[in-house]
A = this chain, B = another copy of it.
Amino acid sequence: MLPLRLIERKRDRGRIEPAEWRECIKAYVAGDVPDYQMAALLMAVFLNGMDAGETAALTDAMLASGSTLPPTADRRPRVDKHSTGGVGDKVSLVLAPLVASLGVAVPMMSGRALGHTGGTLDKLDAIPGFRADLTLRAAAAQLERLGCVLIGQTAEIAPADRLLYALRDATATVESIPLIAASIMSKKLAEGLTALVLDVTRGSGAFLPALEQGVELARTMVALGAAHDCPVVALLTAMDRPLGRACGNALETEEAIHALTGNGPADLMEVTYALGAEMLVLGGAARTHAEARPMMEEAIASGAAARLFQEIIEAQGGNPGVVDDPAVLPQAAEVELYLAPRSGVVARVEPRTIGRGITALGGGRTRVDDRIDPAVGFVIGVAPGAWVDAGEPLATIFARDSAGVDDGRAVLSRAIVIADHAEPALPLISHRVTANGVLEYAISPAPT
């Protein structure tokens, strides 16, 4: 009778108490609450919402359904970053070794691509031999030894979240801010974090395109963090165009390696440094953002960050040679230039079109169990606002065969819009959300 009472209450805009969420989620994981009752409850939550206390209680209940990453003897501060996803977003691969090389432990838990957005796990999978499916014990051991581990959501972590996510996916109840926040936070809390930095993308390629939605998610996550003694800082970043130049799994891994060795594209570096500064300050490794920035530049210039990435890859069974020679990554059979069909200004580079295009080339998923080809994708040499001449190379297509090249050409001709006038683009980083509220982001944010 409990689930029926809870559905009724949420349907009537009432409140579900923490003990009730706990009992309900426990019973659901045990198979004692049928999917159809949980589906009705999820839809009632989707439409009638949850307050901060309920969201925290649901998060706790999902967290309690599984295990947590054990603490390490060194008790180093642990900070992770989570992104709401995008196209060309290889930040995690750069950020994790970079921040960890500066003394903050980073237990980076990532997901796989689904829909038009990429997933860090798929990018790591492009590295020959790399394994992200560590047990929590092994992950904790590596975290202690190297200060960084790159893993997927194991079966041990928040099983309630996996079950609920699959059900939400099948019942059109994914895009609910409190449900998204509880889902992210239940997994992040399972990492035993000191703090969490959130990259909330906005714009046409984002999971939540509107600024208001992104800010609401950021606020909800900040409140959830506060309720769990895990400070959360969120940056709102642009996803009205791909981040960096490479889009596609192996191509992005290669670009991440370039970034770690001092040759990353400016926008990727800017976002990485901004998120890294938050992590270093939250982790106590830097006092201010102004102090953090040169620390990170030095870690890249000295090769320390790249060396740590190499050690992580080696520890997780991958070929560490990839850092010195990215050519060991899977290579596409066909590589062709895409030339500007006309002269003009690049008005837009549509991330959703690019993301779906990668899937069309075989490098993404439309179903959870699709196999992907890591080598395919695009490297896009132009950004919105650039003037281009007809016939000038705009991008490179990486495909399995000549049909793939044709597909890629069609994708790019839709994605890269050349016009007579530029269109306004979103600022790369627009807002910063903390427990103190929402502020416009300044290039050199004031020390916290």
Given contacts A34-B35, A35-B36, A36-B35, contact A172 B8 (CB under 8 A): yes
Nearest CB of chain B from residue A381's CB, rounded to whole Å = 37
**Quick one: CB contact mask for A18-38 with B, threshold 8 Å, 1 for yes?**
000000000000000011111
Determine the distance from Cα of A40 to Cα of B40 in the docked complex, in whole angstroms. 5
Q: Is the CB of B36 within 8 A of A4?
A: no
Please provide the chain A residues from 33 to 56 with a CB less than 8 Å away from any CB of chain B in the complex: 34-40, 42-44, 46-48
Query: Shortest Cβ distance from A218 into chain B, in angstroms?
Result: 23
Contacts of A171 in B (CB 8 A): 4, 7, 36-37, 39-40
A35 nearest CB across to chain B (Å): 4
In the complex the two chains form, is A36's CB within 8 Å of B167's CB? yes
**Are B4's CB and A170's CB within 8 A?**
yes
Give the interface centre of A4, A7, A36 by most chain B CB atoms within 10 Å. Answer: A36
Most buried by B among A4, A37, A42, A48: A37
Give how many copies assemble into the complex: 2
The residue that A172 contacts in the complex, of B7, B47, B48, with Cβ under 8 A, is B7
**A101 in the interface (beta carbon within 8 A):** no
A207 to chain B, nearest CB (A): 15
Does A173 make an interface contact (CB < 8 A)? Answer: yes
* Cβ < 8 Å to B, chain A residues 325-368: none
The residue of chain B having its C-beta at the shortest distance from the C-beta of A45 within the complex is B43
The answer to whether A36 touches B170 (Cβ under 8 A) is yes
User: Is the CB–CB distance between B35 and A172 below 8 Å?
Assistant: no
In angstroms, Cα B38 to Cα A171, docked, is 9
Also in contact, A11 and B46, with CB within 8 A (given A4-B172, A35-B34, A40-B173): yes
**Smallest beta-carbon distance A335→chain B, Å:** 35
Q: A39: which of B39, B46, B47 is its contact (CB, 8 Å)?
A: B39
A43 contacts which chain B residues (CB < 8 A)?
Answer: 7, 11, 39-40, 43-44, 47
A40 and B39 contact, Cβ closer than 8 Å, known pairs A8-B172, A48-B47, A172-B4: yes
A46 to B167 alpha-carbon distance, docked (Å): 20
B contact residues around A46 at 8 Å (CB)? 11
CB neighbors of B among A154-185 (8 A): 167, 170-173
CA distance A57 to B43 in the complex (A): 23
- Complexed CA–CA distance, A371 and B38 (Å): 30
Query: Complex Cα distance A171/B42, Å?
Result: 11
In the complex the two chains form, what is the Cα distance from A38 to B48 in whole Å?
Answer: 19
Set of chain B residues within 8 Å of A7, measured between Cβ atoms: 43, 171-172
Query: How far, in angstroms, from A44 to B48 measured CA to CA in the complex?
Result: 11
Please give, as numbers and ranges, the residues of chain B lying within 8 Å of A170 by CB-CB distance: 4, 34, 36-37
- Minimal beta-carbon separation of A109 from chain B (angstroms): 28
The chain B residue sitting closest to A169, CB to CB, is: B4
Minimum CB–CB distance from A3 to chain B (whole Å) comes to 9
A390, chain B: closest CB distance, angstroms: 41
Q: Which residues of B contact A8 (CB under 8 A)?
A: 172
- Determine the distance from Cα of A215 to Cα of B376 in the docked complex, in whole angstroms: 62
A31 to B48, CA, bound (A): 29
Q: Which of B4, B11, B34, B42 is the one whose CB lies under 8 Å from A40?
A: B42
Nearest-Cβ distance from residue A412 to partner chain B, whole angstroms: 28
Q: How would residues 403 to 417 of chain A score, 1 for a CB under 8 Å from any chain B CB and 0 otherwise? A: 000000000000000
23 contacts between A and B (CB under 8 A): A4-B170, A4-B172, A7-B43, A7-B172, A11-B46, A11-B47, A11-B173, A34-B36, A35-B35, A35-B39, A36-B36, A36-B39, A36-B167, A36-B170, A36-B171, A37-B170, A39-B43, A40-B40, A40-B43, A40-B172, A43-B43, A43-B44, A47-B47
| Leading 6 A-B pairs by shortest Cβ distance | A40-B171, A43-B43, A36-B39, A35-B36, A7-B172, A8-B172
- Which A residues are closer than 8 A to B by beta carbons? 4, 7-8, 11, 34-40, 42-44, 46-48, 167, 170-173
What 16 additional pairs, Cβ within 8 angstroms, besides A7-B43, A37-B171, A39-B171?
A4-B172, A7-B171, A7-B172, A11-B172, A11-B173, A34-B35, A34-B36, A35-B35, A36-B38, A36-B167, A40-B42, A40-B43, A40-B171, A43-B44, A44-B47, A47-B48
